[in-house]
A and B are shown apart, each in its own frame.
Chain A
Amino acid sequence: MTRIGLIDYGMGNLHSVRRAIERLGAEVVPVQEAAAMQACKALILPGVGAFDPAMQRLEQAELIEPLRDWCGSGGRLLGICLGLQLLFQGSEEGQREGLSLLAGRVRALPRTPDHPIPHMGWAPLLPGTPSPLLPPDHPPAWVYFVHSFAADPIDSACVTAQVVYGDARVTAAVWQQNVAACQFHPEKSGPVGQQMLRRWLRWVESAAA
């Protein structure tokens, strides 16, 4: 059974992510310290809340360098929601440095009339660079978002999906080598989200042991 490590650093709700992965037949273990990573085939970095407290908690758990090492040595990782934003170098939401695994910064969603913030609800993905998360010719995928900020990657080739917010297109999912992340919640996006997680899991399982 594929063992997925779920980074448990006290930011938000791990339950639904764990359930979604378990439903797909993988084993999920909580990762509260670096040592627990070694037994995992891949990691998931979830998270809801604000950027600075999240980085602070990762720092307190002494997980920042281990996460960088994990990804730097080809380890597979999926960020979800705030977990996507933390992969970047920093955020307009806070002062702290991010994990800096991806180049770019996280910016506030543009204030737009009749567009509530947070952006909360379902939206169709606009395909970008194809990836295992969103392969070419994927039918329109409606997924569930809750966010007030979105990543602005320097290398736009890493954007595998965008979403329309007001007059802007903002980052919905990224993929760069072994690092993937969704701004939306695949674990809360019905059958479409489950399929996306299944594709990611298959890709993890396809990796040489």
Chain B
Amino acid sequence: MVAKRIIPCLDVADGRVVKGVNFVGLRDAGDPVELACRYDAAGADELVFLDIAASHQGRTTLVDLVRHTAEAVTIPFTVGGGIGSVDGITELLRAGADKVSLNSSAVRTPDLVTAGARRFGAQCIVVAIDARRRQLPAGAAPAWDVYVKGGRENTGLDAVAWARQVVALGAGEILLTSMDGDGTQAGYDLGLTRAVVEAVEVPVIASGGAGCIDHIAAALSEGKAAAALLASLLHDGVLTVEEIKADLLNRGLVLRPPAPPLRPPAPLPPARPL
């Protein structure tokens, strides 16, 4: 049994965390590096940074953020958002990211997945798939469409077929977000998750919809996901990584045990100019 992973996701724009993070004792609730260190010390298995602005001028800031994160955290982290070329991949990996996540650019330029995997290995090329349940007549088998541009544009691609295709192109992992579930806290789309997991042999990270531990447990067991991506549930202080892991371990799932509760937080990285 491969251990399941709990992955906090931080949305960033211009080097700052976008959604407010509600942690006790944070020096700066908007500093992604400080937050990354906190999640690292709490026993998070990996981290994901998504640059939601992905603006041209924000790119340098993102690279700086990656560099500072790499200096401070001791677990793997993925960076996504607006990566459109091999040079873009190279820049972020050189700055210290362990993996990059490609989304719209993989749809636009599927060769980028292959080129990235050839150059750096499949293990560092994550393809993010934003999927929405297709409206079908009652009784029809469920299907999901792939959306890009932050969920605004339907590509018409079938999510399960696209997942198969990106793995064939060289993706080493899939970050699968249910657009229907995202932000609702009503639970992951288990049908979508399971359909993609069963279609590919690479790990699938389930994302979108977590509202409680039951949802996470369901994504990892019924949904068969390798990992659960968590955002507001953690950032809002509803649950901690320690609580989630302790609960999932009690349910018989295999995970890296959480950090001991009384461990002091990791030392903060030196202050840096913004």
Q: Which of A67-75, A83-91, A185-193, A198-206 lines the interface with chain B? A: A185-193
Q: Are A142 and B202 in contact (CB under 8 A)?
A: no
Q: Are A19 and B75 in contact (CB under 8 A)?
A: no
Query: Which single residue of chain B is at the shortest CB-CB distance from A53?
Result: B118
Q: Are B201 and A116 in contact (CB under 8 A)?
A: yes
A119 and B4 alpha carbons, distance in the complex (Å) = 11
Q: Are B3 and A116 in contact (CB under 8 A)?
A: no
Contact of A12 among B4, B70, B74, B120 (CB under 8 A): B120
Least CB distance from B256 to A in Å reads 4
Interface range on chain B (Cβ under 8 Å from partner): 20 to 34
A144 within 8 A of partner (CB): yes
A66 within 8 A of partner (CB): no
CB-CB < 8 A to A13: which residues of B? Answer: 93-94, 96-98, 120, 124
A48 within 8 A of partner (CB): yes
A59 and B225 alpha carbons, distance in the complex (Å) = 40
Interface range on chain A (Cβ under 8 Å from partner): 20 to 34
Least CB distance from B76 to A in Å reads 5
Q: Are A120 and B123 in contact (CB under 8 A)?
A: yes
A188 and B256 alpha carbons, distance in the complex (Å) = 14
B122 within 8 A of partner (CB): yes
Least CB distance from B89 to A in Å reads 11
A187 and B75 alpha carbons, distance in the complex (Å) = 8
Q: Are B74 and A142 in contact (CB under 8 A)?
A: no
CB-CB < 8 A to B203: which residues of A? Answer: 116, 118, 120-121
CB-CB < 8 A to B224: which residues of A? Answer: 114
Most chain B beta carbons < 10 A, residue from A50, A144, A194: A144
The B-contacting residues of A in range 159-209, CB under 8 angstroms, are: 165, 185, 187-191, 193-194
Query: Which single residue of chain B is at the shortest CB-CB distance from A10?
Result: B119
The A-contacting residues of B in range 168-216, CB under 8 angstroms, are: 172-173, 201-204
What are 12 residue pairs bridging A and B, where the CB atoms are less than 8 Å apart in the complex? A13-B97, A15-B94, A16-B96, A50-B121, A115-B2, A116-B204, A120-B123, A120-B173, A121-B5, A147-B123, A188-B76, A190-B74
If A49-B121, A147-B123 are given as contacts, then 14 extra A-B residue pairs at C-beta distance below 8 Å, sorted by A number, are: A13-B93, A13-B94, A13-B97, A15-B95, A15-B96, A19-B96, A120-B123, A122-B5, A123-B2, A142-B256, A144-B75, A188-B98, A189-B74, A193-B74
The 8 A-B residue pairs whose C-beta atoms are closest, nearest first, are A122-B256, A49-B121, A15-B96, A116-B203, A142-B256, A146-B123, A48-B121, A190-B74
Chain B interface residues toward A at CB < 8 A: 2-5, 40, 45, 70-71, 74-76, 93-98, 120-124, 172-173, 201-204, 224, 226-227, 255-257
